Amino acid sequence: MTINIPSTDQKRIVVVGAGFGGLAFAQKMANQNVQLVLIDKNNYHQFQPLFYQVAMAGLEPSAISFPLRKLFQKKKNVFIRVTQLESVDIHKQIIKTSLGPLRYDALIISTGVDSNYFGNEELAQKTIPMKSVSEALYLRNQILSDYEKALVTTDYEERQGLIDMVIVGGGPTGVEVAGALAEMKRYILPKDYAELDNQEVDIYIVQGASCLLNGMSENASKGALKFLEEMDVKIKLNTRVVDYDGKFVSMNDGTKIRSNKVIWAAGVKGTSIAGLSDTCYNRSGRLLVDAQCKVIGIDNVFAVGDIAAMQTDDLPHGHPQLAQVAIQQGKFLAKHLLNIQNDICEKTFRYKDLGSMATIGRNRAVVDLPKFKFKGFFAWLVWLFVHLFSILGVKNKVMVFINWIWNYFTYDQSLRLIIKPNDKNKKIL
């Protein structure tokens, strides 16, 4: 079996991964005289910063997903294939996928990164990551299903296991999930699950570093800590999770927390690609690239986004793994390849820091801009505007905006559905 792509005299550029970096590159190159093949395991782009709102039943998956074919439906030189990269033959310039082999003239790797469990298979098997829409939906189902079970559970310890939650990692994802869970505890449980005592619900953040939002400013870190403590989130700093058996979370200080759900937001790592030498990666599993995003030592293979590590004296570990870095790299690389075609002098990538931010529930956020750092209500409005503007598609923007407005004034959403796949052998009445 082979991937059926028409032969052409145009240069064939294959993009693996439709995340922020790959999509920015593809959109920039779609209008050029090249044949563009976009490969992804899904047929849609996912807006990762809002996965947690899907998990907390604040948004539906369709609101933060956008079909790739709709995005490129008027581009006759763009071909989309739903498949997974298996290996790369850098000598023959061929990639192998689950659909078969495909030749390339230039290969752009934008596969993103996976959760890093630091070699602990128990944690990998039993904790819940949030790196895709499907994982966010799984978490939503687990939370709501456990609330339903808690209603009929009389044993106190068993009930605590169902309603208490542990978040491992105090980065942006961790604090945003904790804030959303705290609001659910405060506003939703008394309405939907009045038989439960919402004061029994405990939400924990376990953070290995000495502060939250490590990498953002001290103002942001202290602000997030203050906001979460006001929302009754229990925070354990300088603490690492060493084991989880499905019922008890064990920490390196000897303490344990009873919980049936552990959300893993404690770090990421790159996934190696067969055919690429180990020397292509840094210690975090990211591909080492030069100042033009080319994988070091390999011709015609480039990487952008979280998987790419452009290491310099100022950035010994590469750029931060942020959406803006990926978008800027994708756009730069598209322009760089066009410059090569037109014999224009090479330029180097320069990241323009537009800032970073995190929201901690209603009216609470922290924002670090290059010249200003602020928190509170205005920071929350800035966070809303930036994320709303960044979502693909006018319809999606409208859907998200309506949900946010409705939730703000009613302290409620109407999306708390437990949707699970049916057994295909079971008759549906």
Given a contact cutoff of 8 angstroms between Cβ atoms, the answer to whether 177 and 52 are in contact is yes
Catalytic residue among 176, 183, 230, 346: 176
- pTM metric for this prediction: 0.92
What confidence score (pLDDT) does residue 429 get?
42
What confidence score (pLDDT) does residue 428 get?
41
218 is catalytic: no
The residue with tokens 């100042």 is 291
Q: What Rg do the C-alpha atoms of the chain give, in angstroms?
A: 23
**In this structure, CATH architecture of domain 121-266:** 3-Layer(bba) Sandwich (3.50)
User: Does 121-266 match 11-113+270-341 at the fold level?
Assistant: yes
Tally of helices (H runs) and strands (E runs) in the chain: 12, 24
CA distance 141 to 40: 25
What confidence score (pLDDT) does residue 397 get?
92
Return the domain boundaries, the chain: 11-113+270-341, 121-266
CATH homologous superfamily of 11-113+270-341:
FAD/NAD(P)-binding domain (3.50.50.60)
Q: Could you count the other beta carbons within 10 Å of the beta carbon of residue 209? A: 16
What confidence score (pLDDT) does residue 159 get?
95
Q: Which residues of the chain have pLDDT under 50?
A: 424, 426-429
Per-residue DSSP letter, 275: T
What confidence score (pLDDT) does residue 414 get?
66
- Per-position b or e across 155-184, b if 16+ CB within 10 A of its CB: eeeebbbbbbbbbbbbbbbbbbbbbbbbbb
What confidence score (pLDDT) does residue 427 get?
45
For 298-334, the pLDDT digits (tens) are 999 999 999 999 998 888 889 999 999 999 999 999 9
